[in-house]
Amino acid sequence: MNALLRYFATGPDRPQLTDSGTIDQLYRRHRLRVMLAITLGYGVIYTCRLALGVVKKPLIDGGIFGPAELGVIGSALFYTYAIGKLTNGFLADHANMKKFLAAGFLLSALCNIGMGFSTVVWASALLWGLNGWFQSLGAPGGVVAMTAWFSNRERGRYYGIWSTAHSIGEGLTFIGVGTVVAVLGWHWGFWAPALAGVAVAAMAYALVQDRPRTLGLPTIADWRNDHYKGAAPPPNPPPQGGGGQGGGAVFRTQLSILKIPAIWVLALSSATIYVTRYAINSWGVLYLQEARGYSLPLAGTLLMISTVAGMAGAVAYGFISDKLFDARRPPVNLLFAILELAGLLLIFCGPATIPVLITGMILFGVGLTGLVTSLGGLFAVDICPKRVAGAAMGLIGIFSYIGAAIQENVSGQLIERGMTIVGGVRTYDFSTVIWFWIGSSFVSMLLAASLWRVKLRD
């Protein structure tokens, strides 16, 4: 275990370079490579997390699993992801992101290969749970890398760009994986993402870098001269020094975030928005097929509209909050929450026409992805010390994915209770589960609005 921890550990700080031209050149080069790797890599590996949602109807129709069993399998990923995001978030602050991210991507891909062979509930739940653990290395790793290489007043914009990875993954899943499943069968719904996952693991290892100070560079805040004015100091700040090996000081700073009341409110707000997020990801294809009668490719195309809108929403959130509100997130959270709720109401309660559904998907995609960008990480990084961004992500993550896991179980049970079979024809009543999803988004909006005056930290 010690050898394993040493392998993944961040390197020691090197003596700082003195030539400003070399420093500028290295920063510009590595910032581009890091951003490319964490965005495209996380986007592609996301398909290894969403594959189950695409194959649910073939599995149900084939008599392999029922909705409640799929709820158990699906929730296994969310529970292990929740725990893993907390523990791996704390570990990420001590790790070399090159190795950390590459390992997570590769191991997740291997779990998907196994899922393509499994038709037993316990085996599938075990594999999908392991997949959740390995997936949980991705988000903390990406945020730690981004926080190390992008400064305070530019982070919202780049975090927004990175958050398009979720939408890239959703789009590749709903269109790409959905088409593969329609042509080749449900097994390839897992195998195709796995092959892509192996490729991005190699890309992450080639492009991602360790912290700037391990390369002899100044911190990003010093290089950009970008410190918050009047920022709140870390609670009980640890002794300075230690560089890359100062694990005790880093750990004490990690624990200090537990004393920030706003982080707990933010965690609950993120948990409730993740209920809606993964409800649509996990059950949206089934809803469009069964409640609206659409084919699998058409259902995937409609959700793809939400995904494309989400990419615009993530980028727009970062630019609006950075440029128009000077990196203040709460006003923009409220705006995007209203858009997201309006979209949900159109999708589920509006006239049953394609134009209305498309409009709802656009509003929902823009609003939801903006909120996930903020509540799922960016806002937490703002209100916590930057050296422990991974721990902040981990704390938010365990709440978020416990919410997602509870959603998966509750949604599966409610959908199965509303399912009837008459004359061999299966019909669904989604009315109860829909209000569960909408109500969760409303609660999230109220909790986020309570953080209107929270202080930021360097």
pLDDT string in tens for the chain (458-residue length): 788 778 888 888 888 888 888 988 999 899 989 999 999 999 999 999 988 988 888 888 888 988 889 888 988 988 898 888 778 877 887 889 999 999 999 999 999 999 999 999 999 999 999 999 999 898 888 888 888 888 877 877 887 788 788 778 888 887 888 889 888 988 999 999 999 999 999 999 999 988 888 888 888 888 887 665 554 554 444 443 344 445 567 778 777 778 888 889 999 999 999 999 989 888 888 888 888 888 877 887 888 898 889 888 888 888 898 888 877 888 999 999 999 999 999 999 888 788 999 999 999 999 998 998 888 877 887 777 766 777 777 788 888 888 888 898 899 889 888 778 777 777 888 888 999 999 999 999 999 999 888 776 65
Please tell me the predicted confidence (pLDDT) of residue 291: 85
Q: Are 198 and 426 in contact (CB under 8 A)?
A: no
CA dihedral 146→152→157→163, nearest 10 degrees, is 40
Q: Are 393 and 67 in contact (CB under 8 A)?
A: no
Cα–Cα dist 251/259, whole Å: 14
Domain boundaries, the chain: 21-221+254-449
Which structure tokens are listed for 303?
């959700």
Report the SS3 class of residue 325. Answer: coil
Report the SS3 class of residue 428. Answer: strand
Residue 445, C-beta contacts closer than 8 angstroms, at least 6 positions apart:
333, 334, 337, 338, 341
Cα–Cα dist 376/394, whole Å: 10
Please tell me the predicted confidence (pLDDT) of residue 334: 95
Which DSSP state fits 293?
Answer: -
Report the SS3 class of residue 368. Answer: helix
Please tell me the predicted confidence (pLDDT) of residue 238: 41
> pLDDT tens-digit profile of 204-218?
999 998 888 888 888
Amino acid at 338: I
Regarding the domain delimited by 21-221+254-449, which CATH topology (the fold level of the hierarchy) does it fall under? Growth Hormone; Chain: A; (1.20.1250)
Residue 323, C-beta contacts closer than 8 angstroms, at least 6 positions apart:
none
Please tell me the predicted confidence (pLDDT) of residue 444: 95
Please tell me the predicted confidence (pLDDT) of residue 243: 43
